[in-house]
Amino acid sequence: MPAFAGMSGRDNRRNGAICDCPRVAWEGAWAGQAARQTKAPKNLFCIIPAGVRIGYSGSDKIITGAAIPMTALDQHLDNIAHDGFTLVEDVLSSDEADALAADLDRIERELGTAPACNPFEGHHTLRVYNLLAHGKLWEAIPVHPRVLPIIEGVLDDGCLVSSLSSVKILPGERAQPLHTDDQLIPIARPHTACVCNSMWALTDFTEQNGATRVVPGSHTRDHAPDFGTDYDSVAVEMKKGSVLVWNGSLWHGGGANATDAPRIGIPMNYCAGWLRQQENQQLGIPRDVARGFSPRLRALVGYGVYRDLIGHVDKRSPDFLLGDSDGALTSVWDQ
Ligand SMILES: O=C(O)CCC(=O)C(=O)O
């Protein structure tokens, strides 16, 4: 299979055989020239795994993906380190994506969701926040074994759910201003990754319907974009069921939807265990709901401690507040 003409010198075939799943690579369009409003090229090679890493199993019935293979994990982490993003394909089956989209319709109806009508959230975009409070189906997303290991590789396994929401870009929406997801965090750039986010495609994402646009490599810049300024970017097209993962410092934004159908995406966002979550998970998710979460999901939403200290309640893990654990903790001070 021919390599994409503009690819960098990295050899994406190391450690394994070549298969034909598309890997988003951008250098040809981007580093070359004329990157503005250019689609990320596809049909590049990726790795057929040699090893298997055990991941956390999801708590939900419908989502049953196997753990992410180790060499693929390395490749994804390499992509994020180098480009600022990576694409994980076929995470959800078509039926799984449809089930989530149908449940989202239900939630939007129940909440009477309407566009926020501001330049960031859009005038023709429906957004629902705090999805973990709105139904069991959503509990499988934060712990998915094909994606969580990548997040843990960028942050660490003490990472937290920062927010779980939806972005349904309706026909006629304009492109969202480019931004970074760690833009409000007042530390000098570039910095160690403290936010790592993902976009789950519940419909195909195309340049025409508003696929997420990224500025490859921008996670290493020493500044964030100026709000509302036009920058060169590429659209990351992906099939329904795929997941785009990026370093929170990457410049990106939703695209314009020039079609007559919605583009439905689920931003599943994580932050470091030492950072405040964007959506307050402990107050926003009723305790009765959190009590039904798997142990891993409980820890991810904040019923745990980071490095045996951060987040403790009276030197106990806050898990005891859910009632079925004593929260026993050997704090870092006691070690
Ligand atoms: O909808 C998208 O593709 C990106 C949305 C986004 O980046 C945001 O709302 O922060």
One domain for residues 189 and 319: no
CA distances from 103 to 82, 122, 135, 245 (A): 36, 22, 8, 23
- Asked if residue 98 belongs to a domain, the reply is yes
* pLDDT greater than 60 at residue 244: yes
**34 C-beta neighbours (distance < 10 Å), count:** 9
Structure token digits, residue 168 = 């349904």
Strands (E), 20-165: 38-39, 46-47, 85-88, 125-128, 160-164
167 lines ligand 1 (CB under 6 A): yes
One domain for residues 233 and 271: yes
pLDDT tens figures, 98-152: 999 999 999 999 999 999 999 999 999 999 999 999 999 999 999 999 999 999 9
Measuring from atom 2 of ligand 1, which residue has the nearest CA?
254
- Asked if residue 12 belongs to a domain, the reply is no
65 lines ligand 1 (CB under 6 A): no
Give the number of domains in the chain. Answer: 2
Average pLDDT over residues 37-51: 31
- Asked if residue 4 belongs to a domain, the reply is no
Is residue 103 within 8 A of residue 131, CB to CB? The reply is no
One domain for residues 124 and 170: yes
One domain for residues 183 and 141: yes
- Asked if residue 295 belongs to a domain, the reply is yes
One domain for residues 136 and 194: yes
One domain for residues 291 and 243: yes
CA distances from 170 to 127, 178, 259, 263 (A): 11, 18, 9, 7
> Domain range for residue 314?
308-335
Q: 322 falls in which pLDDT band (50, 70, 90)?
A: very high
One domain for residues 156 and 271: yes
- Asked if residue 2 belongs to a domain, the reply is no
- pLDDT of 22 reads 34
- For residue 212, the ligand 1 atom closest to its alpha carbon is 3
One domain for residues 266 and 323: no
Task: Compute CA 56 distance to the chain's CA centroid, rounded to the nearest angstrom.
Answer: 17
- pLDDT of 2 reads 24
- Asked if residue 123 belongs to a domain, the reply is yes
pLDDT tens figures, 24-35: 333 222 222 222
One domain for residues 62 and 198: yes
